[in-house]
Amino acid sequence: MKMTRKITWMILLAAAMSFTQCKDAGDDVQIDDENELITSVTLKFTEEGTTNTTSFSYKDADGDGGNAPTQFDTVALKPNKTYTLAIELLDESKTPASNITEEVAEESDEHLFVYTPTPSTLLTYTYGDKDANNYGIGLTGKAVTTTAGTGKLKVQLRHQPGSKNGTPSPGSDDVNLEFNLKVQ
Amino acid sequence: MNRIVFSFFFVITSLIARAQTSDCACFVKGVVKDQHTGQPIVGATVLIVGQNSGVFTDENGRYELRNLCPGAYTLECRIIGYNPFREKLDLTAGHEENFNLLEQEVHLKDVEITAHRTDAPSSQPLSTISGSDLEKTRGQNLAESLKGFTGVTSLQTGSSISKPVIHGLHSNRILIMNNGVRQEGQQWGSEHAPEIDPFIATRLSVVKGAAGVRYGSDAIGGVILVEPEELPFDKSLSGELNAVGFTNGRQGVLSGTLQGGIKGFKGFGWRAQGTIKRGGNIRTPNYFLDNTGISEKNFSLAAGYRKKGLGIDVFYSRFDTKIGIFSGSHIGSVTDLLSVIENGEPFVKSGFSYNIGRPNQNVSHELIKAETHYHFQNGNRFQWTIARQLNDRNEFDLHRPRNDSIAALNHPELTFKLTTLTNDVIWDHKPIAGKLAGQLGISTLYQYNLMDGRPLIPNFNQFNIGFFWMERYVKNGWELEAGMRYDYRTLTSFRIVNREKVSQDFKFSNFSGTLGATRNFSEKFSARLNFGTAWRAPNVSELFSDGVHHGAAAFEKGDATLQPEKALNTIASIKYAGPKFTAELGGYYNIISDFIYLKPQSEPILTVRGAFPYFKYTQTDATFKGIDLSASWEIVKYTTISSKLSYLRVYDQRNNNYLVMIPSNRIDNQIKYELPEDAKWHKAYFSIGNLFVAQQKRVPPASDFMAPPKAYSLWNVQTGTTFNLSEKQQLEVGIAVQNLFNVAYRDYLNRFRYYADDMGRNVSLRLKWKFGA
């Protein structure tokens, strides 16, 4: 029958069309090393007048999601001491690990580290570095402890492109971590 | 496939004759023909509205209605796949003298109608906007243009990105048929608006409720049909130019169309259309929103050929947009979000600028399609549509990469390239016994997604095949309809887990069905009832999301074990359409089992940017019930009051709780004064309207960072007219003011409600110059 032939022809052609140009999206999956992550944040406290450095880290090797953070140390300090505080940010999802601290240093006029202890009596922080506009950066600084006690130390990296004015308000958080703080 | 706008015309021959014995011996007879082919349409129903008399056209397309008393009637003609056509007949006044005439001395009446083919189930509510109502929405995006329908709202990301919401459902739960092709973009994202230029369409329609049988899976909430006009076969050159200016955002839109036939090539028609849009920062009543500009360039080309029963159409369209995302909406952590909420207005301030900086999204969408159909002499009709869509979405984050060499490349942080091939074959079978008309079809879809940048969703290949069958039976004022569909879908995902490629296979299949009835009680009064089912397979973002959503300060996690969600929708409506008063009341009850939603988890999740509220894609059983009411009443001559009410209640049955992100109830009132027609002025009108949107109080406790925004009330005024410049030239002018009193408000379904107010006063001027046939 003429019509049946026409129908068959159309269906066959239609089916053929639906499979042409098929591409496998799987071939295109590749590891992307351009993507920036911060997977580890390390606070390095060096007691003044000594070379005793203690490090406290937050590590989430695969970034947000996936596996849970593997390390989140309690910052343990001695009372009535002055420390030099340096911070290191790494992206360890890449090989070799990329050093985000250096990138922050290069764009220091867009970044501000903020260290906030609660209660505020536990620790006093003073910036030890300045950017081109004479605002603090916080890659290095001084932390002075007083009496013993426990609380929190909030560490923020504020990303403030074009709006940095020395205060934490502008911009948004690139890092926002609350370490447990123990001064004893 | 179904997007091919199809015209047909009726030749109605009214014969009025007096019989010797009875006065009720008038009759109407004629033939129904297809405009393209000139061939008779077999099996069309012709009936007198309000009477239980109806006939079918015979194999020559002829019909005859006998034994009519003198009087005024409305003749209606229906056939599956076409909108019903109505024509008023007057068998009384002015024709009395004809009663003495012989049958041969015919009072002949030729009526030419262009009717549009829609395949929507007739028992489901179909609302359409076209003509001057559509003109009033010109310059706005697709979702905004649809907001005039009851039960339709929008999900917004600021003022420039909006997605349609039907009966509380949106994104992947709504299907958009662009020119007959399923629009395939990255619908899952709330800031991923449909990539369609509304200027393409001369008709926008909304099918409310589950319409899975005809349109395929995903149509749980409804279907939006974007349809252009039929190509001007063998007509002379014509065209239109639209210019729209908005004060807010200092936005300008220019759109033009040229179309015609080709001399010497019988049966050809073509159309070229293009739109340019440019806007800058949006102003709320008290401040500008930084980086909210838009730039859009779209065009489309169409050509077609008709000969006898054969029709061929090709269509190409390209949509290209660059949209700035309000820079104050980039949130690094929950602390950031809470402080901007507390501040009550954004920290980022700016003046007016057309500049579009980071964050922004650049999206292009390309559609190429070919469609062919053939009418067989015996009433069968075949249609075959193939289409290819390329969706290229690039999203740029607020922050450039810190590494200078990478930053210099200025790559988008997110790129999605989605390619979709669709293929549909539809057979309208010839009417069986003159009473049963139906349609059978096969649809296939092949799709692959390539993703680059910050990991968000995996790459995937998807294949879908569906078979459907629908039948319609018409008798004695009743119209019964039934249909079913089977879909089978495979999905293979590819992603990197711990530097290894992982692929996963999914298979989904399901049946959908529809059952409906329409009853025409009288010329003015009708009722409809429809039961429809639809299903939706979980999409890749629901299966694999794993990260922080920066607009919502939420950590969202997918679940690869999700099952498809299934909807059973009951929708009923009654309609009264009189000369002075029209009302339609509709109610719906949509039960969605295994409804996929983001469930808040009790423990927050820790990231380097702090602890984020943790949401997991979870399934529950939800009910969506609501009422749509629209009424208009001509209180005195030329003055009409109209009201539209949308009421919706949604409940999570499994957890005995409300669900989040459900549009609030609203009522829209308008009073319109139309000036009497004048030789030079046409359709001159002035209207004042008010939209009241209630506060959404039905939200789960403690589900959000801030309570849903308060109720708001917005006033608008509109005026316009049409001038006939010459016989073949028309100029249409419209002026509108939205948010007349510059009210500061926020909407619950606007993602920016945390950060900033909605758009302030906006005055627009609209000009449309139309020339040619």
Residue A159 has pLDDT above 70, yes or no: yes
Structural domain of residue A166, as residue ranges?
A: 38-183
Please give the residue of chain A at the shortest CA–CA distance from B383: A10
Most B CBs within 10 A among A67, A176, A177, hence the mutation to make, goes to: A176
- Residue B606: per-residue pLDDT: 83
Q: CA B602 to CA B580: how far, in whole Å?
A: 57
Which of A60-74, B111-125, B400-414, B643-657 bottoms out in mean pLDDT, i.e. has the lowest? B111-125
Please give the residue of chain A at the shortest CA–CA distance from B328: A171
Q: CA B29 to CA A163: how far, in whole Å?
A: 79
Which of B529-538, B576-585, B673-682 bottoms out in mean pLDDT, i.e. has the lowest? B673-682
Match 């007083």 to its residue by tokens.
A146
Where does the pLDDT of residue B109 fall: very low under 50, low under 70, confident under 90, or very high at 90 and above? very low
When comparing pLDDT for A64 and B140, which is higher? B140
Which among A29, A26, A156 is positioned nearest to A104, based on CA atoms?
A: A156
Question: Left if phi > 0, otherwise alpha if psi is -120 to 50, otherwise beta: which for A17?
Answer: alpha
- Residue A6: per-residue pLDDT: 65
When comparing pLDDT for B58 and B695, which is higher? B695
Mean pLDDT of all residues in chain B? 85
SS3 A69: coil
Q: What is the CATH number of the domain that holds A48?
A: 2.60.40.1080
User: CB within 8 A of B561, min separation 6: which ones?
Assistant: none
Contact B648, B658 (CB under 8 A): no
CB contacts < 8 A (A, B): 157
Single-letter amino acid, residue B75: L
DSSP B162-176: EEEEETTEEGGGEEE
Q: How many CA atoms lie within 13 A of B575 on its CB side?
A: 17
- Residue B1: per-residue pLDDT: 34
Of A41, A68, A171, the CB nearest to B608: A41
Where does the pLDDT of residue A42 fall: very low under 50, low under 70, confident under 90, or very high at 90 and above? very high
Q: How far is A25 from chain B (nearest CA, A)?
A: 6
- Residue A112: per-residue pLDDT: 94
Whether residues B406 and A34 touch (CB distance < 8 A) is answered with: yes
pLDDT in tens, B300-328: 999 999 887 888 999 999 999 999 998 88
Average pLDDT over residues B178-202: 92
Whether residues B444 and A18 touch (CB distance < 8 A) is answered with: yes
Average pLDDT over residues B33-56: 65
Whether residues A107 and B402 touch (CB distance < 8 A) is answered with: yes
Average pLDDT over residues A71-99: 90
| Distances B355 to B277, B323, B551 between C-alpha atoms, Å | 14, 10, 21
Average pLDDT over residues B219-234: 90
Residue A58 has pLDDT above 60, yes or no: yes
- Residue B107: per-residue pLDDT: 29
- Residue B510: per-residue pLDDT: 93
- Residue A34: per-residue pLDDT: 54
CB atoms under 10 Å from CB of B636, counted, come to: 8
Q: How far is B95 from chain A (nearest CA, A)?
A: 48
- Residue B438: per-residue pLDDT: 86
- Residue B592: per-residue pLDDT: 96
pLDDT in tens, B588-634: 999 999 999 988 887 888 888 877 888 899 999 999 999 999 999 99
Which of A83-92, B325-334, B376-385 bottoms out in mean pLDDT, i.e. has the lowest? B325-334
Which of A14-23, B123-132, B407-416 bottoms out in mean pLDDT, i.e. has the lowest? A14-23
Of B449, B453, B555, the CB nearest to A25: B449
Helices (H), B303-427: 334-343, 404-409
Strands A172-183 and A74-77: parallel
Single-letter amino acid, residue B85: F
Contact B196, B453 (CB under 8 A): no
Whether residues B421 and A10 touch (CB distance < 8 A) is answered with: no
Residues of A in contact with B403 (CB under 8 A): 36, 98, 103
User: CB within 8 A of A41, min separation 6: which ones?
Assistant: A57, A58, A87, A88, A89, A155, A175, A177, B608
Q: How far is A49 from chain B (nearest CA, A)?
A: 32
- Residue B10: per-residue pLDDT: 39
Residue B82 has pLDDT above 60, yes or no: no
Please give the residue of chain A at the shortest CA–CA distance from B398: A161
Q: Which H or E element spans position A2?
A: helix A2-19
- Residue B210: per-residue pLDDT: 83
Domain annotation covers residue A43: yes
Q: Which H or E element spans position B237?
A: none
| Distances B458 to A93, B488, B580 between C-alpha atoms, Å | 18, 21, 56
Whether residues B459 and A26 touch (CB distance < 8 A) is answered with: yes
Residue A119 has pLDDT above 60, yes or no: yes
Please give the residue of chain A at the shortest CA–CA distance from B409: A34
- Domain residue ranges of chain B, discontinuous segments joined by +: 8-110, 126-150+157-206+210-215, 220-230+237-771
Which among B546, B461, B536 is positioned nearest to B505, based on CA atoms?
A: B461
Whether residues A10 and B382 touch (CB distance < 8 A) is answered with: yes
ipTM, two decimals, is 0.81
Please tell me the total count of domains within chain A.
1
Of A19, A29, A178, the CB nearest to B459: A29
Match 């076209």 to its residue by tokens.
B130
- Residue B542: per-residue pLDDT: 93
- Residue B39: per-residue pLDDT: 57
Whether residues A175 and B608 touch (CB distance < 8 A) is answered with: yes
Q: Which H or E element spans position A98?
A: strand A98-99
Where does the pLDDT of residue A10 fall: very low under 50, low under 70, confident under 90, or very high at 90 and above? low
Average pLDDT over residues B206-211: 87
Where does the pLDDT of residue B5 fall: very low under 50, low under 70, confident under 90, or very high at 90 and above? very low
Contact B89, B75 (CB under 8 A): yes
Residues of B in contact with A159 (CB under 8 A): 332, 399
Contact B20, B198 (CB under 8 A): no
Domain annotation covers residue A21: no
- Residue B85: per-residue pLDDT: 66
- Residue B98: per-residue pLDDT: 25
**Phi first, then psi: what are they for B551, rounded to 5°?**
-80, -25
- Residue B40: per-residue pLDDT: 61
- Residue B43: per-residue pLDDT: 67
Residues of chain B above pLDDT 90, percent: 53
Which of A89-98, A118-127, B354-363, B625-634 bottoms out in mean pLDDT, i.e. has the lowest? A89-98
Q: Determine the CATH number of domain B220-230+237-771.
A: 2.40.170.20
Average pLDDT over residues B507-524: 89
Q: Given 3.60.20.10, 2.60.40.1120, 2.40.30.10, 3.40.605.10, which CATH number is that of B8-110? A: 2.60.40.1120
> What are residue B314's DSSP bridge partners?
B303, B370
Which of A156-160, B427-431, B712-716 bottoms out in mean pLDDT, i.e. has the lowest? B427-431
Q: CA B148 to CA B74: how far, in whole Å?
A: 29
Residue A5 has pLDDT above 90, yes or no: no
Average pLDDT over residues B634-657: 95
- Residue B112: per-residue pLDDT: 35
When comparing pLDDT for B406 and B391, which is higher? B391
Residue B217 has pLDDT above 50, yes or no: yes
Residues of chain B above pLDDT 70, percent: 87
Domain annotation covers residue A3: no
Q: Which H or E element spans position B215?
A: helix B212-215
Whether residues A106 and B402 touch (CB distance < 8 A) is answered with: yes
Domain annotation covers residue A29: no
Contact B309, B39 (CB under 8 A): yes
Residue B198 has pLDDT above 50, yes or no: yes
Match 């091939």 to its residue by tokens.
B421
Contact B254, B273 (CB under 8 A): no
Q: How far is A77 from chain B (nearest CA, A)?
A: 22
Residues of B in contact with A69 (CB under 8 A): 606
- Residue B605: per-residue pLDDT: 84
Domain annotation covers residue A53: yes
Write the DSSP symbol of residue B101: S
Asked if the peptide bond before residue B164 counts as cis, ω within 30 degrees of 0, the response is no
Residue A62 has pLDDT above 50, yes or no: yes
Which among B327, B396, B353 is positioned nearest to B752, based on CA atoms?
A: B327
Contact B194, B142 (CB under 8 A): yes
Q: Which H or E element spans position A136?
A: none
